[in-house]
Structure 1
Amino acid sequence: MGRDTRRSRLVIVALLIVAFTLITLDYRTGRSATGARGVVHSVLGGVENGVTAVTRPIGRTVSSLAHPNRYHDRADRLAQDNARLRRQIADDGQVTRLSKELSDLRLLADKGQYSIVPAKVIAVGDVTGTDWTVTINAGRDDGVVVDKTVLNADGLVGTVSAVTAHTAVVRLACDPGSRIGARLERTQLLGAVAGGQGPSTLTFTLYDASFRVQKGDRLVTFGSLDYVAGVPIGEVTKVTDVGGLSRTAEVKPFVHVGTLDLVGVVVSRPPADPGDRLLSPRPLPPQPTAPAQSGAGTAPAQDGTG
């Protein structure tokens, strides 16, 4: 009995010596130790890695069961971040587009020497064919009054028909009740443009029946109580004979009603009629190509005989 107790004590002392030795080696050499400590670490480390590889998927499964909404919440956060980035990109694109539209509108106003109040279309009226109007976010407090000309970077939009303190209703040029004084480009020939044929067609009638209207003629406003002069209106696309005279025509407006966004209200007249300078330059006609030179005109070779 005493011998067994002594042997057990010796075993315990030996184990303590081994443990202190391994601790000392770990402190001095860290994980790079070799020898007995390295062998033990290698064996135990392999066992630890194997146990971890087996238990990790189980732990994740148990964690997902214990917290079922964790991954759904993370997916929702990612979706929200993605939507926010998409909105930011869209907003940046809209700012860039509006900035360009405003720059083009200012350029047109400067050419015509118009004083304008920029405004944005905020509502569209009844477009069933009896009332073509839009509402803009500028009104009486901005200097807008009834009958003022409204334009955008492409040309004539219409006139102001009603005003509140902060908004205004614009009757479009294609409205059936709209009638606009117009002038043919590079001439003093006057007429009137009327709506009623839809958003893409106006009807032009020349006052002097002794003159002819031709396809491709362009029109600008000639100026009246309601319209300032020189604003581009559109281009003649089809001529209609009335009593054997070509004095009525269909006109395609320069302004696309379906894409109206940024407009300008002309609040004061220019000091002089701008004429045709607001019209974009016409493209140059293609130059005819010169015929290829043939070899028939070359002098024949002489044989040198006398």
Structure 2
Amino acid sequence: MGRDTRRTRLVIAALLVVAFALITLDYRTGHSATGVRGAMHSAFGGIEDGVTAVVRPIGRTASSLTHPNRYHDRADRLAQDNAQLRRQLADDKEITRLAGELSSLRLLADKGQYSIIPAKVIAIGDVTGTDWTVTVNAGRADGVAVDKTVLNADGLVGTVSSVTAHTAVIRLACDPNSRIGARLERTQLLGAVAGGQGPSSLVFTLYDASYRVQKGDRLVTFGSSDYVAGVPIGEVTKVTDVGGLSRTAEVKPYVSVGSLDLVGVVVGRPPADPGDRLLTPRPVAAQPPPAASSAPSTAAQPSAAPGAAQGGVG
């Protein structure tokens, strides 16, 4: 039993030597199956293929261990390419978003016949404290001046309070110290809007105490030294009685301070008051379908005496 095992080991060892010899010839002479290489391949080709299949993964592993940087470099390159593609996709998305905002802003300016300078918000003050401002990247060199109205695609943002060569500080409409002339939609009734308790609340006071402010009433600016006319301000959400008169109300502004990005500084006033043109049209209530008529039909009725139609036939 021991002798057979020893003989088997010797045979396997000899075959391994032959296979390695064939592999060596492959690398040195190529794959030309001529001469001694061809004869040996004919005799031991199957063994060579089997040993090569076993040895090749071992060789690749050894190569990766002896040249680790090659694989690390490839992984780094793939990671860099992936990051670049992600940045490119993010940039394309941002460009598309800004293009949409600019288009909406231009549409609003065209409706009101305002000349505007687009600007991007680059800093925001502490709107929970005393600094109710934002800073934009347009200034004196771009034609921006103090007391110019600032708006975005949703409505009134505020007014320019200070200017440098390339930046401007905008005092927001929700500043508690602000006071903006306002007009109720579809009327000539005037009042004033002041900052409320936060960036999402304004207070409107109507000058005419005989008129009742109602929930859902909408406000626009009327022309003054620092605000152009017709810019949407907000909508009445709650009416407050003062001395039995409903002339004071809470207003939700159309502009969200927390999402301010692209704005327009009005540098050219419209030739005439735009009125309510910049307000979003109210939805038209659906009309009920006409009721079905219940009147009796006027179609000819059949004769009550059929025999009369056959008069005298007998």
Instruction: Tell me the TM-score normalised to structure 2 length.
Output: 0.79
Cα deviation for residue 130 of structure 1 reads 2.1
Q: Write the mapping of 1:87-106 to structure 2, written as runs, cut at 5 A.
A: 87-106=87-106
* Structure 1 match to 2:164: 164
The separation in 2 between residues aligned to 1:46 and 1:291, in whole angstroms, is: 94
The separation in 2 between residues aligned to 1:164 and 1:70, in whole angstroms, is: 54
Secondary structure at the counterpart of residue 273 of structure 1: coil
* Structure 1 match to 2:25: none
- Mapped contact 1:219–1:235 kept (Cα < 8 A): yes
Residues 102 and 43 of structure 1, relative CA distance in 2, 3 Å threshold: farther
The separation in 2 between residues aligned to 1:268 and 1:146, in whole angstroms, is: 13
- Mapped contact 1:230–1:273 kept (Cα < 8 A): yes
Cα deviation for residue 48 of structure 1 reads 3.2
The separation in 2 between residues aligned to 1:76 and 1:193, in whole angstroms, is: 58
- Mapped contact 1:155–1:254 kept (Cα < 8 A): yes
The separation in 2 between residues aligned to 1:52 and 1:231, in whole angstroms, is: 81
* Structure 2 match to 1:109: 109
- Mapped contact 2:121–2:262 kept (Cα < 8 A): yes
Q: Residue 178 of structure 2 aligns to which amino acid in structure 1?
A: S
* Structure 2 match to 1:150: 150
Q: Residue 200 of structure 2 aligns to which amino acid in structure 1?
A: S
Q: Residue 207 of structure 2 aligns to which amino acid in structure 1?
A: Y
* Structure 2 match to 1:180: 180
Q: Write the mapping of 1:1-306 to structure 2, written as runs, cut at 5 A.
A: 41=41, 43-289=43-289
Cα deviation for residue 44 of structure 1 reads 4.3
Cα deviation for residue 107 of structure 1 reads 1.0
The separation in 2 between residues aligned to 1:161 and 1:118, in whole angstroms, is: 17
Q: CA RMSD in A?
A: 2.6
Residues 130 and 288 of structure 1, relative CA distance in 2, 3 Å threshold: farther
The separation in 2 between residues aligned to 1:43 and 1:275, in whole angstroms, is: 100
Residues 172 and 69 of structure 1, relative CA distance in 2, 3 Å threshold: same
- Mapped contact 1:180–1:221 kept (Cα < 8 A): yes
Secondary structure at the counterpart of residue 120 of structure 1: strand
- Mapped contact 1:221–1:233 kept (Cα < 8 A): yes
The separation in 2 between residues aligned to 1:171 and 1:152, in whole angstroms, is: 14
Cα deviation for residue 57 of structure 1 reads 1.4
The separation in 2 between residues aligned to 1:238 and 1:44, in whole angstroms, is: 96
* Residue segments in structure 2 that go unaligned for 5+ positions in a row: 1-31, 307-314
Q: Residue 169 of structure 2 aligns to which amino acid in structure 1?
A: V
- Mapped contact 2:128–2:198 kept (Cα < 8 A): no
The separation in 2 between residues aligned to 1:129 and 1:252, in whole angstroms, is: 20
The separation in 2 between residues aligned to 1:44 and 1:220, in whole angstroms, is: 95
The separation in 2 between residues aligned to 1:165 and 1:42, in whole angstroms, is: 87
The separation in 1 between residues aligned to 2:206 and 2:173, in whole angstroms, is: 17
The separation in 2 between residues aligned to 1:63 and 1:289, in whole angstroms, is: 83
Seq. identity, %? 81
Residues 38 and 192 of structure 1, relative CA distance in 2, 3 Å threshold: same
- Mapped contact 2:119–2:263 kept (Cα < 8 A): yes
* Residue segments in structure 1 that go unaligned for 5+ positions in a row: 1-29
Cα deviation for residue 298 of structure 1 reads 8.8
The separation in 1 between residues aligned to 2:154 and 2:46, in whole angstroms, is: 77
The separation in 2 between residues aligned to 1:87 and 1:179, in whole angstroms, is: 44
- Mapped contact 2:144–2:267 kept (Cα < 8 A): yes
Q: Residue 271 of structure 1 aligns to which amino acid in structure 2?
A: P
Q: Residue 156 of structure 1 aligns to which amino acid in structure 2?
A: L
Cα deviation for residue 189 of structure 1 reads 0.4
- Mapped contact 1:176–1:195 kept (Cα < 8 A): yes
Secondary structure at the counterpart of residue 171 of structure 1: strand
Secondary structure at the counterpart of residue 236 of structure 1: strand
The separation in 2 between residues aligned to 1:267 and 1:260, in whole angstroms, is: 20
Residues 297 and 43 of structure 1, relative CA distance in 2, 3 Å threshold: farther
Cα deviation for residue 297 of structure 1 reads 7.5
The separation in 2 between residues aligned to 1:297 and 1:81, in whole angstroms, is: 81
Secondary structure at the counterpart of residue 273 of structure 2: coil
Cα deviation for residue 269 of structure 1 reads 1.1
Instruction: Tell me the TM-score normalised to structure 1 length.
Output: 0.81
Secondary structure at the counterpart of residue 284 of structure 1: coil
The separation in 2 between residues aligned to 1:134 and 1:271, in whole angstroms, is: 29
Secondary structure at the counterpart of residue 79 of structure 2: helix
